[in-house]
Amino acid sequence: MPSIKVAILGFGTVGEGIYRILNERKEEIKKETGHTIDIVSILVRDTAKERLATPGTRITDDVQEIFATGDIDVVFEAIVGEEPAYSYLSEAIEKGCHVITANKTMFAQHGPALLKHAAFRGVQVCYEATTAGGVPIIRTISGLLPTDRVRRIRGIFNGTSNFILTKMREEGIPFEAALHEAQVLGYAEADPTDDIGGKDAFRKLMILSALSFGRQPDWQDVPIVGIDGVTIEAVKDASAGKLRYRHVADIALDENGALHGSVGPVLIGPEHPLYGVDGVDNAIIVDTDHLGALTLIGPGAGMYPTASAMVGDLLQIVGKREAVVVTS
Amino acid sequence: MPSIKVAILGFGTVGEGIYRILNERKEEIKKETGHTIDIVSILVRDTAKERLATPGTRITDDVQEIFATGDIDVVFEAIVGEEPAYSYLSEAIEKGCHVITANKTMFAQHGPALLKHAAFRGVQVCYEATTAGGVPIIRTISGLLPTDRVRRIRGIFNGTSNFILTKMREEGIPFEAALHEAQVLGYAEADPTDDIGGKDAFRKLMILSALSFGRQPDWQDVPIVGIDGVTIEAVKDASAGKLRYRHVADIALDENGALHGSVGPVLIGPEHPLYGVDGVDNAIIVDTDHLGALTLIGPGAGMYPTASAMVGDLLQIVGKREAVVVTS
């Protein structure tokens, strides 16, 4: 049985999580797919840095060294930011590799181009981990699409913002104190601008828009409001009226087929499915023709949820052990 | 491009839904899979009954007439009750057909045997529609399993019971009146015993147990309590304390690897993810090693949600247009 040869680009939290899961779940993966997974190379920024031991795996800071061997089947990308991630993945696709990414900034912008390129080269691009971490929203919507039609997608796509709003409400502390707590706990980046300003949620909304509707709206037509303007007084007033602030990204098709998107804080009552979604969780409500509303709630980030979603993508690519034979 | 030849066993609400979706979404399915779907035969109880016109499709009340042609790739089963459904599907598998079922009563009992038989014959058994209607819980758990471990599954698996509890709370009416309303609206069967007595939820729990843990507990070890003992006074007392009754089926692995299941009414507070799940919706919370909790909420029944889930199963079986090539 041939082994699947993989490379991991980026060896931060998520990259290391991929490495760990591929090793910890070796037997289950082999049982499920019939293949062993061989981690051939890992791309790092600094080869001198001390890190998890990876016996038998080439560690390099030169991506060309990885591509030069010509034997990689699947590339995992867990780098941050548009470049060089986009260039690396374009090259991987051109060389006939399947690619799996967790890079939302890159994918919101370049996802449609990567998918087109991959279709042309006969390989797959998987991106479950770009949106809502461990919540399998990409797979769920992909599974619905051939038999159903998505009308609207809305939800909480940024765990940091949701954590901050939750802390403000539960502990009666102002925005800055809640942000500081999120940073201390590692839920917020040193530069939290994209999280609290709404850009991160916007990017995930654009990824889901491309998947669900086959297109994105013009980015400048989507108003983006962050949670940085939500005062503790406003949160207390809301609580007094049994309401909660949630940071909601929302996109819907109107009856003329036009897309309308928005990102910003919304007041929610106790009967709303997003009312109880606290802390760093993400939640997505998908409205379709056949289902009415389908809601998914789960961890929006974290090493294992994210890496687990990416290894799940690998299993989608490799497929089940028994190839399905259509008899006619 | 070869067509996929399918038979539909049972032409009630769900069977008709399958027929409609396969026709309405012909183009999308062809685009997604590269195949056209040819509905060759439909098994009905009474050939004389007036029904939806199905030009080009053989309508018969004799299942042997369907199997005799020997050209069926996939059998959809949308019959009620253990038999003759189990015998029909066993025969279909023996003849090399993939099977797709919505029959929870049959599958809770005979699912493990059917899956074993199918593995031996090299065909697939899909059963997304047996549990929680349009909520893709089977696909979601299947996708998690190779990289994660399920610890506990709990949720609201019976829409009729949830509708009745919701009506009792919202309208202050007693159990019998709420049941009557469910029957008038078509949410409850003429004989609602299995729904309100908890057996239907129990069966779905057993299906999820077999999938998630590879086994079911001894059925007699799982206490099953229905909602028929929940009085309007108890519902009002709960509301006064900001609590709600939910009918919850629950199964968990303990630290020794033993399974503990239960089915019955539970009091839930406002912060619980099941608190806001009203009406005929179903909800499932899956606890895993990597994800913590993943929650799915959506329609638990209905012609289009159920039929749509079954056609989704067909697409899983047929696979994507581009076969995935592993290069090494």
Q: pLDDT tens, A54-105?
A: 999 999 999 999 999 889 999 999 999 999 999 999 999 999 999 999 999 9
Confidence of residue B70 (pLDDT cuts 50, 70, 90): confident
Q: What pLDDT, in 10s, does the model give residues A263-321?
A: 999 999 988 989 999 999 999 999 999 888 999 999 988 889 999 999 999 998 987 54
Looking at chain A, the whole-number percentage of residues with pLDDT higher than 90 is: 82
Q: What pLDDT, in 10s, does the model give residues B111-120?
A: 999 999 999 9
Q: What is the reported pTM? A: 0.93
Mutate: best of A97, A99, A148, A321, partner B, most B CBs <10 A: A148
Contact A327 B146 (CB under 8 A): no
CA distance B143 to A139: 9
A113 pLDDT more than 80: yes
Enumerate the residues of chain A whose CB falls inside 8 A of the CB of residue B35: 326
CA distance A75 to A59: 14
DSSP annotation of B308 reads H
Which residue in chain A has the smallest CA separation from B294?
Answer: A298
**What is the maximal distance between C-alpha atoms in chain B?**
67
Which residue in chain B has the smallest CA separation from A323?
Answer: B122
This model of the complex carries an ipTM of 0.91
Q: Which residues contact B184 (CB under 8 A, 6 or more apart)?
A: none
Q: Which chain A residues in 228-257 lie under 8 Å from chain B, judged by CB atoms? A: none
Enumerate the residues of chain A whose CB falls inside 8 A of the CB of residue B29: 146-147
Which residue in chain A has the smallest CA separation from B292?
Answer: A299
**Where is A151: in which H helix or E strand?**
strand A150-156
> Is the distance from CB of B276 to CB of A273 less than 8 angstroms?
yes
Task: Report the b/e string of A66-86 with b at 16+ CB within 10 A.
Answer: bbeeeebbbbbbbbeeeeebb
CA distances from A183 to A1, A163, A165, A192 (A): 47, 11, 14, 9
Q: In this predicted structure, what is the pLDDT of residue B189?
A: 77
Mutate: best of A93, A147, A314, A325, partner B, most B CBs <10 A: A147
For B312, the token pair is 């989704």
Q: What pLDDT, in 10s, does the model give residues B290-327?
A: 888 999 999 988 889 999 999 999 998 987 544 343 43
Enumerate the residues of chain B whose CB falls inside 8 A of the CB of residue A29: 146-147
Please name every residue paired with B99 in a beta bridge, in sequence order, or none if there are none.
Answer: B75, B125
Catalytic position from the list B30, B104, B199, B204:
B204
Confidence of residue A146 (pLDDT cuts 50, 70, 90): confident
B294 reaches A (C-beta below 8 A): yes
> Is the distance from CB of B284 to CB of B153 less than 8 angstroms?
yes
CA distance A176 to A190: 13
Which residue in chain A has the smallest CA separation from B142?
Answer: A312
CA distance A12 to A303: 9
Q: Which chain A residues in 182-221 lie under 8 Å from chain B, judged by CB atoms? A: none
A183 pLDDT more than 50: yes
CA distance A40 to A60: 11
DSSP E strand stretches across chain B: 4-9, 37-43, 58-60, 74-77, 98-101, 125-126, 150-156, 244-253, 259-268, 281-288, 292-299
Indicate if the alpha-carbon torsion angle B23, B24, B28, B31 is positive or negative. positive
CA distance A129 to B131: 26
Sheet bearing A98-101, strands edge to edge: A58-60, A37-43, A4-9, A74-77, A98-101, A125-126
Angle at the Cα of A208 from the Cα atoms of A277 and A168, rounded to 5 degrees: 25
SS3 content of chain B, % helix, strand, coil (to 5): 40, 20, 35
Contact A312 B144 (CB under 8 A): yes
Q: Are strands A125-126 and B125-126 parallel, antiparallel or unpaired?
A: unpaired
Enumerate the residues of chain A whose CB falls inside 8 A of the CB of residue B304: 289-291
Indicate if the alpha-carbon torsion angle B207, B213, B219, B223 is positive or negative. negative
Please name every residue paired with A58 in a beta bridge, in sequence order, or none if there are none.
Answer: A41
For B254, the token pair is 């303990």
Supply the Cα-derived Rg of chain B in whole angstroms: 21
- Count of all residues that appear for chain B in the document: 328
Contact A294 B145 (CB under 8 A): no
Residue type, A194: D
Contact A294 B71 (CB under 8 A): no
At A182 the three-state DSSP class reads: helix
A117-135: average pLDDT: 95
Can the peptide bond before residue A84 be classed as cis, meaning omega within 30 degrees of 0?
A: yes
Enumerate the residues of chain A whose CB falls inside 8 A of the CB of residue B315: 143, 146-147
Name the residue among A230, A296, A311 with its Cα closest to residue A267: A230
Q: Which candidate from A96, A136, A325 shows the least CB-CB separation from B143?
A: A136
Can the peptide bond before residue B84 be classed as cis, meaning omega within 30 degrees of 0?
A: yes
CA distance B57 to B44: 12
Q: In this predicted structure, what is the pLDDT of residue B328?
A: 36
Q: In this predicted structure, what is the pLDDT of residue A323?
A: 39
* CATH code given to domain A138-300: 3.30.360.10
> End-to-end alpha-carbon separation of chain A, Å?
27
Q: Shortest Cα distance from A206 to chain B (angstroms)?
A: 22
Contact B273 A297 (CB under 8 A): yes
> Is the distance from CB of A101 to CB of A77 less than 8 angstroms?
yes
How many other CB atoms are found less than 10 A from the CB of residue B81? 10
B222-246: average pLDDT: 97
A70 reaches B (C-beta below 8 A): no
Instruction: Find how far residue B105's CA is from the centre of its chain.
Output: 10
Q: Is B174 exposed, middle or buried (0-12, 13-18, 19+ CB in 10 A)?
A: middle
> End-to-end alpha-carbon separation of chain B, Å?
27
Q: How many CB pairs under 8 A join A and B?
A: 182
Enumerate the residues of chain A whose CB falls inside 8 A of the CB of residue B296: 294-297
DSSP A25-57: THHHHHHHHS--EEEEEEE-S-TTS-----TT-
DSSP annotation of A122 reads T
CA distance B304 to B297: 16
Q: What pLDDT, in 10s, does the model give residues A187-246?
A: 887 789 999 999 999 999 999 999 999 999 999 999 999 999 999 999 999 999 999 999
Which residue in chain A has the smallest CA separation from B23?
Answer: A147
CA distance A44 to A11: 6
In the CATH hierarchy, which top-level class contains the domain B4-133+304-318? alpha beta
Q: Shortest Cα distance from A25 to chain B (angstroms)?
A: 6
Q: Where are the domains of chain B?
A: 4-133+304-318, 138-300
A19-23: average pLDDT: 96
Q: What pLDDT, in 10s, does the model give residues B164-206?
A: 999 999 999 999 999 999 999 988 877 899 999 999 999 999 9
Q: Which residue has the tokens 């954590």?
A: A163
Q: Which residues contact B188 (CB under 8 A, 6 or more apart)?
A: B160, B163, B164, B179, B182, B195, B196
Q: Which chain B residues in 135-164 lie under 8 Å from chain A, judged by CB atoms? A: 135-136, 139-140, 143-148
At B271 the three-state DSSP class reads: coil
Looking at chain B, the whole-number percentage of residues with pLDDT higher than 70 is: 97
Contact A328 B140 (CB under 8 A): no
**Where is A6: in which H helix or E strand?**
strand A4-9
Contact B146 A25 (CB under 8 A): yes
Q: In this predicted structure, what is the pLDDT of residue B325?
A: 39
How many other CB atoms are found less than 10 A from the CB of residue B2? 12
